[in-house]
Amino acid sequence: MLESLLNPALVLILGGLLVPLLRDLPRKLFMLALPVAGLALMVWLPTGDGGVVHMFGVTLETLRIDKLSFIFGVIFHIAALLAVIYALHLKDTVQHVAALVYAGAAIGAVLAGDLITLMIYWELTALSSVFLIWARRTERAYHVGMRYLIIQVASGVVLIAGIAVRYVMTGSVDFERMSLDEPGAWLILLAFGIKCAFPFLHNWLQDAYPEATVTGTVVLSAFTTKLAIYALARGFAGTEMLIWIGAVMTAFPIFFAVIENDLRRVLAYSLNNQLGFMVVGIGIGTELAINGAAAHAFAHILYKSLLFMAMGAVLFRVGTIKASELGGLYKSMPWTATFCIIGSLSISAFPLMSGFVTKSMILTAVAEEHLWVIWLVLLFASAGVLDHSGIKIPFFSFFAHDSGKRCDEAPMNMLVAMGLTAALCIGIGIYPQPLYSLLPYSVDYNAYTTTHVITQLQLLLFAALAFAVLYRRGWYPPEIPALNLDTDWLYRYAGRRVMDGAVAVTQGTGDAAARLGAYCWAQFDRHALSGVREQGWLASVWRSSTLVWWAAALIGLVTLIGLLQ
């Protein structure tokens, strides 16, 4: 039992619940110590399965450390530490507790050795993370949080159903690689797909992340979807269908991101795009592809967090994140602008940046499998990333035009968090070997070949040139306040109208039925029941001859019925 308590996840979860007991400096130091202690414990624990618990005839392995779970555990601890630093200026206990419990639940999920333990932490991530949206304390945030919670819990319910089918049919709850013809596998894949924001299941991401608090969005961007990437890599590596799903994920968000005015929503679409690269790698399933997916998830958590940190700092200081209302902020927030540019270069996969040394692994794995259509889609998506995240985010925030807004630079703790994250983005890009050493399989790969570097620079150059031409000629979609419709329109607008119509029809039918029932009762009361009342004809005094005639008629009727039997 003691062994099961030596779980890095519990360090953050239980420690997070103790945060309200502390104040000021002790609280800050305690929060900073939690991710460090959790990471130290995970490094100290031996490789293999542990934390075995026997419950209701089922054996649970609450702790499994191998190469795949270890790399996700490492980056989740790093992301938790950076998020704590970024949020040190807050005095909102709810956000501190929710962020630490959420991070701990995500870590517990990637270290889970069985599906039941995974499911428990899976649901805990949903329940804890929603408070990062509600903590904004607006009516809109409340409704968005409710939608987010419903979808996340629904993912857990589908996962529970898949686990139940699998256990009944096979007697196993082991979390290992599955094929789609195994019992419950389709349900489990659907649960993972919801959290991974598969096409048509993705709108919760763009709906929820931009409505979270300044610090909450940074935390949300790091864990939920990357937990789903880990789950797919663990359970469905080599599933060919994921290649095509991932390719679609890389391409369609580009068009929405280009026309979006809310810059945090642009980053949410960009997040969806980057997940697609990882899903493609998982679908291919080769050692290089899985290494690429894991490495890209590691790098993506860092540079996406950095971009959300920069936009969060702008929102914190200016009060808006609409591209149409920003511009010229490099004068007031030069450090934030610099860190934002580093994040933009990283997500665009510029050489010497982290995205270059990880995304190229996936592209190489696709080329080795001769999947040229997928390869071309990924190239197109890479160019689109430069357009909507590499250029649009820093350009419209800090340089496009002078909005006249003047403000203070971001708080020091935010700058420290952004500085550390930017340093990691550059460090991994210049010297990727420490990251490569953490990957699930042995790495024999060099990103800095002449072909890779020249191809990527050409791609980025032409993408930048296309943006410049479109913008200068006025053909680039203008940044205007508008509501962009996505597939969530089907359930947020059309679905609600259908439901309202169904309720109206039901209510109208019910009213008509009620009126018909009232009329029938009135007629029955008038013609039948009126006779039994005090003045009715059945209640009056009858003569003896009348009673005799009634008795004779009834006897005759009964006799006739008897003869007919």
Nearest to 90 by CA among 13, 138, 29, 28: 28
CA angle 332, 304, 426 (to 5 degrees): 80
**526 has pLDDT over 50:** yes
Name which of 158-162, 363-367, 511-515 the model is least confident about: 511-515
What is the predicted pLDDT for the residue at 564?
A: 53
More confident residue, 300 or 48: 300
Supply 43's token pair: 């490094």
**469 has pLDDT over 50:** yes
- Domain-located, residue 466: no
Q: How far, in Å, CA of 87 to CA of 222, rounded?
A: 15
CA angle 104, 109, 113 (to 5 degrees): 135
Q: Report the pLDDT averaged over residues 5-17.
A: 91
Positive or negative: CA dihedral 431, 310, 145, 499 = negative
Kindly list the distances between the CA atom of residue 58 and the CA atoms of 162, 167, 174, in Å, as whole numbers in the listed order: 16, 10, 10
**38 has pLDDT over 70:** yes
Q: How far, in Å, CA of 449 to CA of 445, rounded?
A: 10
Kindly list the distances between the CA atom of residue 403 and the CA atoms of 223, 313, 340, 474, in Å, as whole numbers in the listed order: 34, 17, 18, 19
Last residue of a domain, one of 216, 231, 246: 231
User: Are residue 384 and residue 241 in the same domain, yes or no?
Assistant: yes
User: Are residue 281 and residue 197 in the same domain, yes or no?
Assistant: no
Q: How far, in Å, CA of 193 to CA of 196, rounded?
A: 5
Report the number of distinct structural domains present in the chain.
Answer: 4
The residue type found at 323 is A
DSSP string, 84-104: HHHTTT---HHHHHHHHHHHH
* 507 CB-side CA count, 13 A: 6
**556 has pLDDT over 90:** no
The residues near 486 (Cβ < 8 Å, ≥ 6 apart) are: 203, 206, 256
What is the predicted pLDDT for the residue at 532?
A: 46
**Helix and strand element counts for the chain (H, E):** 24, 2
Supply 540's token pair: 């009056």
With beta carbons less than 8 A apart as the criterion, state whether 35 and 81 touch. Answer: yes
What is the predicted pLDDT for the residue at 59?
A: 80
User: Are residue 286 and residue 349 in the same domain, yes or no?
Assistant: yes
User: Are residue 271 and residue 352 in the same domain, yes or no?
Assistant: yes
What is the predicted pLDDT for the residue at 51?
A: 78
- Domain-located, residue 360: yes
Q: How far, in Å, CA of 531 to CA of 526, rounded?
A: 9
**462 has pLDDT over 50:** yes
- Domain-located, residue 380: yes
Q: Report the pLDDT averaged over residues 519-531.
A: 63
- Domain-located, residue 265: yes
With beta carbons less than 8 A apart as the criterion, state whether 275 and 230 touch. Answer: no
Please, which pLDDT band fits residue 514 given cuts at 50, 70 and 90? confident
- Domain-located, residue 470: no
pTM for the model stands at 0.86
Terminal CA-CA length for the chain = 78
DSSP string, 303-370: HHHHHHHHHHHHHHHHS--BGGG---GGGT-HHHHHHHHHHHHHHTT-TTSHHHHHHHHHHHHHHHTT
With beta carbons less than 8 A apart as the criterion, state whether 375 and 485 touch. Answer: no
Q: Report the pLDDT averaged over residues 88-111.
A: 95
Q: How far, in Å, CA of 478 to CA of 471, rounded?
A: 9
User: Are residue 265 and residue 374 in the same domain, yes or no?
Assistant: yes
The residues near 225 (Cβ < 8 Å, ≥ 6 apart) are: 195, 196, 197, 205, 271, 275
Domain span at residue 392 reads 237-442
Q: How far, in Å, CA of 372 to CA of 375, rounded?
A: 5
User: Are residue 241 and residue 161 in the same domain, yes or no?
Assistant: no
User: Are residue 214 and residue 306 in the same domain, yes or no?
Assistant: no
E strands, 240-288, in order? none
Kindly list the distances between the CA atom of residue 523 and the CA atoms of 313, 531, 532, 536, in Å, as whole numbers in the listed order: 74, 13, 15, 15
User: Are residue 271 and residue 409 in the same domain, yes or no?
Assistant: yes
What is the predicted pLDDT for the residue at 495?
A: 65
User: Are residue 139 and residue 223 in the same domain, yes or no?
Assistant: yes
pLDDT digits (tens, 9 = 90+) for 489-507: 776 666 667 777 776 777 7
User: Are residue 373 and residue 503 in the same domain, yes or no?
Assistant: no
With beta carbons less than 8 A apart as the criterion, state whether 421 and 354 touch. Answer: no
The residues near 458 (Cβ < 8 Å, ≥ 6 apart) are: none
User: Are residue 196 and residue 318 in the same domain, yes or no?
Assistant: no
The residue type found at 160 is I
The rounded percent of the chain whose pLDDT value lies above 90 is 66
Name which of 94-98, 323-327, 342-346 the model is least confident about: 323-327
What is the predicted pLDDT for the residue at 376?
A: 94
The rounded percent of the chain whose pLDDT value lies above 70 is 88
Phi, psi of 533 (to 5 degrees): -75, 180
**476 has pLDDT over 70:** yes
Kindly list the distances between the CA atom of residue 308 and the CA atoms of 272, 316, 339, 414, in Å, as whole numbers in the listed order: 14, 12, 11, 11
- Domain-located, residue 450: no
Q: How far, in Å, CA of 21 to CA of 35, rounded?
A: 18
Task: Give 87's DSSP letter.
Answer: T
**365 has pLDDT over 80:** yes
Last residue of a domain, one of 231, 255, 273: 231
- Domain-located, residue 459: no
More confident residue, 291 or 4: 291
**529 has pLDDT over 60:** no
The C-alpha R_g of the chain, in whole angstroms, comes to 31
**463 has pLDDT over 90:** no
- Domain-located, residue 471: no
User: Are residue 340 and residue 377 in the same domain, yes or no?
Assistant: yes
pLDDT digits (tens, 9 = 90+) for 259-302: 888 999 999 999 999 999 999 999 999 999 999 999 999 999 99
